[in-house]
Structure formats: C-alpha cells, structure tokens
C-alpha cells in the first residue's frame, strides 16, 4: 500500500525505522525485533540506505525480505550519494519489480572520512532533483522527503531552507518525515513555517528516545545535531547508570508522543535503532497495545 493512501485513511500514522545489519547475527536480531513490533500494528516501516556496494544491497535485501515475510507496508530510503542517474534508475527498477513502490528520497550524507558533500556529475545535487526524477520516470511511486525542525546542519538561512523544502514538494513529494527532535515546540514551529511557505503535505514527526549517555552525545554530534533541552540533559546527567538513562529517555519520548497525539500531529515516526524495547515501553506507558488505539 502507498504511504500517501495510508495518510488519507488515518488521522495519525505510526511508523518504525530500521537499518540493514552488518552481521548475520544482526539480521537474526533485527527480525526478532520486527516480530516484537508487528503486534503494535505500525502504519508502515522504513529501511535506511547506504551508498554503494554491499550496504546498498543490504538495504534492498532487507526491504524485500520485510515485504515477503510480513504484512507490513515498507518504505525504502534512496540517496544521491555516489550514484549516477543510471545507478538510481537501476535501483528503482529493481524495487518496482519487487512490488515496492514507497521511496524516501534523500540527498544523503557523504561516507565517513570523505569530507564535505560532493555532487556526482552524473547524478543529482539535491533531493528535490531526485524527487522530480522519480516522479517523472516512475509516476506510480509514492515519494517522501526529509525535514529539519531544528534546521539543516548545512543551512545558514532558515528562510531559504524552507524554500528548499518547498522545492521538494513542488517536485512531487507526497509527505515529509522530520529528523529527530526533543522539544515539540520545534516541530510545531516548523509545521507553521511550512504552512506559511505553502507546504500542505503531511509532516510526520521523528522521535528517538535517548537510551544511554553516549547516545545523547552521539545525537548531538551526528548530522542531525539534535538540540538537547536543559531539563532532559539534567535528568540524563543525574541518572546513576545507563539503565536509569534509558528510563529517563523513554519517559521523555512518551510525553513527546502523548503531546503530539493530543495536538493532532499527522504522523509519528519512531527511530528504533533496530531494538524493540523503547518503542514497546512507550506504547505501554501510553496504556495501549497497538497503534489503532492511539488515534
């Protein structure tokens, strides 16, 4: 089923994100995680994408396996990194042949250690170009894009940044999924600024609970460059160990989700990090056993 059709059916969607494991044991653990999360009845799940070689192939294998072995709608990520137009066409055709018609179109980040972003002269410089290419050549595909409530890490102009996001929508993007954030006010302000810019597609909120001190610092340091609110940081720093940090992070994320539902967020996207515990605990804290009870 296409995500755009799911969004028309449901007041609020609930989706989970996974990434391709690097080891055989990781694949086994991931499918145990997916089995644990299926009873929550997500609206769809998504799979992240790596540029080039085996990483890209792992994404394809995981997406296809989820489609064949579960009843879940699945979205595959696709980036412009280290890919020509011919490469991207070949990738999309493979997905099309497998009956996978949901794509999250991203510019992507350069591989670690490769310095700043460089455009492949045979490919695309911006996600908006990738969206337009997919919509022109594979018009039956549903295409999503990324949004940054706290600002894109490379952006120097927040007004121009929204204009760049509008370019994705004008190119045909059907919805937006945001990067993770910890203060819902950032999400609401982002949605309002999108509306002022004429962006009318659903904007889905990205949520990732902090599960350890190291994960908090990693989130602040990675491409997302998440802003950690002082009350959350204070609670994490005074926690006696990572088990206590995880409880703090799950509680904070639960309150974020509760508030987003109350304020009629169009969708909530859980960055699971290939584990089920935090997401299961959030649902338990909300007093529900599956997503249908949250709307």
Domains and CATH numbers, the chain: 3-286 (3.20.20.220)
Active-site entry in 17, 129, 150, 246: 17
Handedness of CA 240, 231, 207, 248 (dihedral sign): positive
* CB neighbourhood size of 113 (10 A): 5
* CB neighbourhood size of 287 (10 A): 8
Per-residue pLDDT of the chain (295 residues; tens, 9 = 90+): 999 999 999 999 999 999 988 888 988 999 999 999 999 999 999 999 865 544 778 888 899 999 999 999 999 999 887 788 998 999 999 999 999 999 999 987 655 545 555 666 687 888 999 999 999 999 999 999 999 998 877 767 777 889 999 999 999 999 999 999 999 999 999 999 999 999 999 999 999 999 999 988 888 776 556 889 999 999 999 999 999 999 999 999 999 999 999 999 999 999 999 999 999 999 999 999 999 988 7
Nearest to 273 by CA among 185, 214, 203, 204: 214
Count, in order, helices (H) and strands (E) of the chain.
11, 8
Residue 255 is among the residues annotated as catalytic for this protein: no
pTM for the model stands at 0.93
């Amino acid at each position: 089923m296409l995500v755009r059709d799911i969004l028309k059916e449901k007041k609020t969607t609930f989706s989970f994100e996974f990434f391709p494991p690097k080891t055989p044991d990781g694949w086994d653990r991931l499918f145990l995680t997916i089995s644990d999360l299926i009873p929550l009845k997500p609206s769809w799940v998504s799979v992240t994408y790596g540029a080039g070689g085996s990483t890209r192939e792992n994404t394809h294998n995981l997406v296809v396996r989820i489609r064949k072995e579960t009843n879940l709608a699945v979205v595959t990520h696709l980036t412009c990194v280290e890919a020509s137009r011919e490469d991207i066409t070949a990738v999309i055709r493979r997905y099309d042949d497998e009956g996978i018609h949901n794509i999250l179109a991203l510019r992507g980040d350069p591989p670690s250690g490769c310095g700043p972003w460089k455009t492949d002269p045979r490919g695309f410089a911006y996600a908006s170009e990738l969206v337009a290419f997919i919509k022109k050549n594979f018009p039956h595909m549903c295409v999503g894009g990324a949004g940054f409530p706290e600002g894109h890490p490379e952006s120097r102009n927040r007004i121009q940044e929204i204009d760049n996001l509008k370019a994705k929508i004008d190119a045909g993007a059907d919805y937006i999924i945001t990067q993770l954030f910890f203060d819902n006010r950032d999400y609401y302000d982002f949605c309002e600024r999108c509306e002022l810019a004429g962006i009318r597609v659903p904007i889905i909120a990205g949520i990732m609970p902090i599960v350890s001190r190291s994960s908090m610092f990693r989130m602040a340091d990675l491409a997302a460059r998440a802003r950690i609110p002082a009350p959350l940081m204070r609670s994490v720093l005074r926690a006696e160990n990572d088990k206590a940090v995880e409880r703090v992070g799950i509680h904070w994320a639960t309150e974020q989700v509760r508030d987003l539902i109350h304020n009629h967020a169009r969708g909530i996207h859980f960055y699971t990090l290939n584990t089920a515990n935090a997401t299961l605990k959030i649902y338990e804290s909300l007093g529900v056993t599956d997503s249908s009870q949250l709307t």
